[in-house]
Each structure stands twice: as structure tokens, then as C-alpha cells.
Amino acid sequence: MDVTGFDFSGFTNLKTLDLSSVRGLIATQFNAIPEDVKASIETLNLSDVDVTGFDFSGFTNLKALGLEAILGLIADQFNAIPNKASIETLYLEDVDVTGFDFSGFTRLEILDLTIVKGLIADQFNAISNKASIKILSLTSVDVTGFDF
């Protein structure tokens, strides 16, 4: 689906925003989503989207975040995600996670790191409250030095 020019401003009670595999979504359009709409969203799925320049700072109420097979996500963007402690589900399948800080995710129940690139032991070991994780996928990941 092509969402070029789509206006998100009328969706003031939106709980789930699934933009997976959309085409035509650019940073200025995504970043223009009104702050009240961003704050209402609990589930955000951007799988298979180029998120270059996307600003995640207004998404303060996320419980689930789907970022599988995305392009353009850098550590600064990921590390700036607010209120990581509220996120229970995180999908990062097939993403380069070099420099990502996982220490703020304290309520994770589902963590998908299938075939991620750049994950080192220090990043994984920084995940606090691993006891809350019910589903963990590390398929095709080198887990040398990981503390389970």
C-alpha cells in the first residue's frame, strides 16, 4: 500500500498503528503524526519499512513494537524510544542492532532477535528482568558470552 500524503491527524484514539510493508511513508510524514495520536498508540508495527529519520520520541505509551526487517534504523533512533519500561513485546528480526541499548526494557514478555546482526553479549546481558520474558527467539544468532 502506498501511503504518500496520508494524514494521521484525525486518529486521536488510535491504539494500533500497523504500517508494515507500506511504501511511500517518509520521515517528515511520520514525524508529523500529532503528539496526541502518538501518545495514544500502544502497538506500532513498522516491519519492512525504511525508517530513516523517523522520530519515535512521541510514542510514550507503547506496549508492542514491531521492527522486523526494517531499513535505516540507527542506534540513536532506537535508544531514544521513550518509556521502554512499558514495552512488553519487541520484534527486531533481521535488523542490525549494533549499538542498541536494551537496558531500559524491564517488562519484556516477548523478544524476537531472530537473525539479528551486530548483537554482542554486553547488549544482551544488559537486558534487565530476564525472568519476565516468556518467549525469546535467538535463531541464527551467535550467543557466545550471553547470560541466560
DSSP characters for 31-91?
HTS-HHHHHH-SEEE-TT-B-TT---TT-TT-SEEE-TT-BS--HHHHHT-S-GGG--EEE
What band does 9 get if pLDDT is binned at 50, 70 and 90?
A: confident
pLDDT for 3 beyond 90: no
**Residue whose cell numbers read 541499548:** 101
pLDDT, tens digit, for every residue of 20-71? 999 888 898 899 899 999 999 999 999 999 999 999 999 999 999 999 999 9
Q: Which residues contact 108 (CB under 8 A, 6 or more apart)?
A: 87, 88, 89, 90, 127, 129, 132, 133
Q: Which residues contact 26 (CB under 8 A, 6 or more apart)?
A: 4, 53
